[in-house]
């Protein structure tokens, strides 16, 4: 197939591009490098079936040209991260809503199936676990910018289904906390990169709140596996949770990272308010129900948290060594 990947130089996108090429698809990557890096694509930059375009999905001429003749577009380009939602909500709203509208319109004109990457954040504060794809969305007030990412992604999902109503095949995947090599955006809120970096540098590992909040951290290979399942031509106009259902508290995550990396770092706690400003609310627990993805996409996560953390920490160690050698 001929496939366009938006945001393909980012953390998840770069792994997806690699896998698509391994399966002999022809891939065009478009990324404005606002958060991605060309170096994430170093293994595939010169691949004969790969073309990289540095550009924004908001530049409609570039997008229309790139999508021509594509069977599928994986739309990952987005503005994300807890820090962005708190400090730059307008950037988050514009980046997600305008970008997705632009991709959907170009795909519609070209009859290209869209696989849109959404987030478990859309379930918000719902405490009825696990989350099914049709679970309620329980979000806080609009005066708290913390909810703008979840809201923008939910509106993007609505836009996907509005285009589906006009005949465009779409799939929405909701990712649950992906981590792994290249998840380097410590300043944008990734807890795994933050903890690993602190552990390897011997600095305090900082936990927000009580640390008893839980998440299901999904190794990026598994995230990509579920995403690739959407290439199944018989599946369309559906939402899927893509994640592992191995739940861990942030306190335990900190301890595990400390142990695996052999770190002497202390684990310290600070209130959310101090870290992310007044009124910040966190989701307490987040667990996916993945039965639907398992039945329709044959998705079964393979990498345990312990194995995934070992692989990720090894990658970080190599990166740090390389940087020391520079």
Ligand X SMILES: NC(=O)c1ccc[n+]([C@@H]2O[C@H](COP(=O)([O-])OP(=O)(O)OC[C@H]3O[C@@H](n4cnc5c(N)ncnc54)[C@H](O)[C@@H]3O)[C@@H](O)[C@H]2O)c1
Task: Enumerate binding residues for ligand X (CB under 6 A).
Answer: 6-7, 9-13, 30-36, 56-58, 76-80, 95, 99, 117, 119, 175, 177-178
Q: Which pairing describes strands 218-219 and 178-179: parallel, antiparallel, or unpaired? A: parallel
Whether the CB-CB separation of 220 and 288 falls below 8 Å is answered with no
Active site residue 208: no
Is the Cβ of residue 177 or residue 312 nearer to ligand X in the bound state? 177
* DSSP for 266-319, written as a single string: -EEEE-HHHHH-TT----S---B--HHHHHHH-------HHHHHHHHHHHHHHH
Is the Cβ of residue 227 or residue 261 nearer to ligand X in the bound state? 227
Cβ neighbour number for residue 311 with a 10 Å cutoff: 16
Q: How far is the CB of 264 from ligand X (least distance, A)?
A: 28
Return d(Cα 206, Cα 128) in angstroms, integer.
28
CB neighbour list of residue 324: distance below 8 Å, 6 or more residues apart: none
247-182-3-19 Cα dihedral, nearest 10 degrees: -70
Q: How far is the CB of 119 from ligand X (least distance, A)?
A: 4
Q: How far is the CB of 233 from ligand X (least distance, A)?
A: 23
Whether the CB-CB separation of 158 and 118 falls below 8 Å is answered with no
Q: Which pairing describes strands 214-215 and 248-249: parallel, antiparallel, or unpaired? A: antiparallel
Q: How far is the CB of 150 from ligand X (least distance, A)?
A: 10
Is the Cβ of residue 86 or residue 263 nearer to ligand X in the bound state? 86
Is the Cβ of residue 238 or residue 263 nearer to ligand X in the bound state? 238
Is the Cβ of residue 35 or residue 151 nearer to ligand X in the bound state? 35
Alpha carbons within 13 A on the beta-carbon side of 140: 14
Q: How far is the CB of 116 from ligand X (least distance, A)?
A: 8
Whether the CB-CB separation of 149 and 92 falls below 8 Å is answered with yes
Return d(Cα 242, Cα 12) in angstroms, integer.
13
Name the active-site residue from 123, 149, 163, 316.
149
Q: How far is the CB of 40 from ligand X (least distance, A)?
A: 8
Is the Cβ of residue 79 or residue 205 nearer to ligand X in the bound state? 79
Active site residues: 149
């Amino acid at each position: 197939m001929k496939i366009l990947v938006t945001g393909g130089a980012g953390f998840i996108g770069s792994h997806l591009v690699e896998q698509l090429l391994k399966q002999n698809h022809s891939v065009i990557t478009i990324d404005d490098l606002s958060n991605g890096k060309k170096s994430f694509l170093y293994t595939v930059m010169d691949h004969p079936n790969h073309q990289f375009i540095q550009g924004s999905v908001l530049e409609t001429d570039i997008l229309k040209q790139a999508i021509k003749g594509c069977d599928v577009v994986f739309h990952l380009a987005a503005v994300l991260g807890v820090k962005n939602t708190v400090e730059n909500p307008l950037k988050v709203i514009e980046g997600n809503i305008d970008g997705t509208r632009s991709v959907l319109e170009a795909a519609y004109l070209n009859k290209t199936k869209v696989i849109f990457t959404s987030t478990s954040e859309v379930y918000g504060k719902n405490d009825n676990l696990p989350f099914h794809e049709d679970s309620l969305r329980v979000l806080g007030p609009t005066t708290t910018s913390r909810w703008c990412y979840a809201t923008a992604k939910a509106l993007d999902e609505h836009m996907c289904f509005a285009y589906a109503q006009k005949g465009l095949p779409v799939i929405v995947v909701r990712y649950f906390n992906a981590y792994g090599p290249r998840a380097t955006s410590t300043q944008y809120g990734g807890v795994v990169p933050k903890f690993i970096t602190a552990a390897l540098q011997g600095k305090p590992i900082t936990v927000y709140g009580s640390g008893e909040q839980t998440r299901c951290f999904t190794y990026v290979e598994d995230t990509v596996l579920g995403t690739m399942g959407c290439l199944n031509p018989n599946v369309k106009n559906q939402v899927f949770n893509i994640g592992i259902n191995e739940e861990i508290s942030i306190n335990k995550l900190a301890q595990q990272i400390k142990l695996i990396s052999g770190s002497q770092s202390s684990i310290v706690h600070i209130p959310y308010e101090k870290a992310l400003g007044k009124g910040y609310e966190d989701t307490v627990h987040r667990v996916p129900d993945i039965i639907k993805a398992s039945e329709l996409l044959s998705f079964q996560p393979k990498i345990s948290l312990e194995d995934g953390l070992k692989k990720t920490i090894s990658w970080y160690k190599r990166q740090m060594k390389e940087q020391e050698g520079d």
